[in-house]
Amino acid sequence: MRAPSEPAGAYTLRSLILVSGVLFLVRLWLDGHLELMFDEAYYALWAQHLAWSYFDHPPMVALWIRLSTLLFGEHELGVRVLGTLSAAAGTGIIYLISWHLFGNRQAAIFAALLYCAMLLISAGAIIITPDTPLLLFWSIALYALARLYEDGGSGWWWVVGIAMGLALQSKYTALLLGAGIVCAMAVVPSLRHWWRSPIPYLAGALSLAMFAPVVLWNYQHGWASFAFQFARTNGDGLSLRFLPEFLGGQIGLLTPLVFVLSLGGLWLGLRRGEDENGQATLFLASLIGPLLAYFLLHSLHARVNGNWIAPAYPVFAVLGAQAAFQQRQFPGRVQTAIAFSRRWAVPVGLAFVGIAYVQAAAAPIPLDPSKDPTALMAGWADLAAQVDATADKIGAQFLLTSHYRLTSELSVYSHGARPIIQFNERPRWLSLGGTPPSLLGRGLYVVEADRDESREISTRFRVLEKVAAIERTRDGRRITTYALYLVAEPRNSPLNDFTLIRSAQNASP
């Protein structure tokens, strides 16, 4: 073990356990009290129709939700709890990565606390998305790589291969982990001998073999998912338009002082220090170098969603702790900023997290719903009840939709014994939708007012009549307005883009 660097201040293992425990309990409470946001409802639909892959992502998130609901029940808590458990495990993994690379228990505690203080990590822990399993498996791969770097045991390559295969089953971003491993083997002197060993190549082959079912699914479906995701790499030319948004988003999602420490840690890694700590920071920086370079370049021609950088956050936590504990390696004024960030990054970050949790639970800050992400987890059950009441009133035999978000929420929260049919976006439902046997009788078309597709609907049905306008609200404040139309007498035009999302047999009683 390396000797500890400078003394660590006030944080102890007890404080880490306390912070982690409180966050875990609060997250569990929120899991059970917040309604599913539309992506969670969408993935919950996937979980009811397991497949080798899906249009948007590989299948891991569906498998997690299926297992979670089998263990804990078909409700919001049941959908999310496995993700919350994995977030808690992630904190422990960050501690272990730092400890094995740097041998400083105080820095390892601080790294884990920084991870807890990251807004994206702690706020994201109350929802389940493909990033949830991706972060866990990516972190496990980082831990195995840290052990490989520490003791050189070839057996750790097999852990890396399995973890990376599971990460690839979670999200295509995991390909950049493979690029990071190649980068680390190229720039870290102590890893270069692995180029002459067959084991890393065999571990990589294992990862690709685990990913093969996703490739097969894409082959069988016209490469639909690959085309959808990798089309994002196309650009219309270089521009600085999205760069400030990209950097500003990361400052907010990391929280500002954690961002300062993360930049400091990256700087330490790029300095290529000759001591053991310097080589370890270079190792970590190289592992996320391809990820950061790719999305930085992407931001020069298109928008980068903040969560896309999430796989770098475990490394940011460990590097940020190293910056805090090696502040004397920075120039004078930067030392002052690092020292200030070391003192306040955790309490300020946790304060941001606390505000986000309170806003999600009770919405005391009267934000514009379009700018409040917590509004995505409110008002759906009441909206579905209004839809069911209107459908009952007009005698609708089916619900008709035109956007996957509303389709997914109605599939979860509508309790009427009637099928849900979507008339467009058919590629999204390749792995789970069916063809409706008929559209005879009366239906109710439900749509967000600003996404109204009634003009297109009028070419499919002879009868189209607006019957109501309803609102999704939160504590009496309007979030979104929806238009409801009676539809009947389908025309003879082809209906092959209509997809049965939920049959009457699968509707909630």
Q: Which H, E and C letters describe 79-134, residue by residue?
A: HHHHHHHHHHHHHHHHHHHHHHHHCCHHHHHHHHHHHHHCHHHHHHCCCCCCHHHH
Q: Which of 361, 392, 411 is the last residue of a domain?
A: 361
Question: What one-character-per-residue DSSP string does 169-185 give?
Answer: TT-GGGHHHHHHHHHHH
- Pairwise CA distance, residues 377 & 388, whole Å: 20
Residue 269 CB coordination number (10 Å): 26
Number of H helices, E strands in the chain: 19, 6
Angle (deg, nearest 10), helices 256-270 and 332-362: 140
Q: Provide the number of structural domains found in the chain.
A: 2
Domain co-membership, 270 together with 349: yes
Does a structural domain hold residue 292? Answer: yes
Between CA 306 and CA 310, with CA 309 as vertex, the angle to 5 degrees is 95
Domain co-membership, 310 together with 415: no
- As a dihedral over the C-alpha atoms of residue 245, residue 249, residue 250, residue 253, rounded to 10 degrees, the angle is 180
Nearest residue to 98 (alpha-carbon basis) of 384, 316, 410, 389:
316
The residue range of the domain holding 350 is 13-223+236-361
* AA letter at 340: F
Q: Which phi-psi region, left, alpha or beta, contains residue 51 (left: φ > 0; alpha: ψ -120 to 50)?
A: beta
Residue 21 CB coordination number (10 Å): 11
Q: Which of 326, 361, 396 is the last residue of a domain?
A: 361
Does a structural domain hold residue 268? Answer: yes
Q: What is the per-residue pLDDT for 235?
A: 59
Nearest residue to 120 (alpha-carbon basis) of 287, 297, 311:
311
- Pairwise CA distance, residues 198 & 116, whole Å: 38
Structure-token pair, residue 497: 């883009």
What are the 10-residue block averages of pLDDT along the chain, 509 residues in total?
45 93 97 96 95 96 97 95 96 97 95 97 95 98 97 93 98 97 95 96 98 97 91 70 92 97 94 76 96 94 91 98 93 93 96 97 90 93 96 94 95 90 90 77 94 90 95 93 95 72 63
Does a structural domain hold residue 373? Answer: no
Does a structural domain hold residue 351? Answer: yes
Between CA 394 and CA 434, with CA 492 as vertex, the angle to 5 degrees is 70
- Pairwise CA distance, residues 381 & 426, whole Å: 25
For the whole model, what pTM was predicted?
0.93
- Pairwise CA distance, residues 121 & 371, whole Å: 19
Domain co-membership, 330 together with 401: no
Does a structural domain hold residue 8? Answer: no
Does a structural domain hold residue 420? Answer: yes
Domain co-membership, 344 together with 453: no
Q: What is the per-residue pLDDT for 241?
A: 86
Whether residue 135 contacts residue 91, with contact meaning beta carbons closer than 8 Å, is answered with no
Structure-token pair, residue 114: 């920084």
Does a structural domain hold residue 145? Answer: yes
Query: What is the b/e burial string over 109-119, where b = at least 16 CB atoms within 10 angstroms of the residue's CB?
Result: bbbbbbbbbbb
Domain co-membership, 155 together with 49: yes
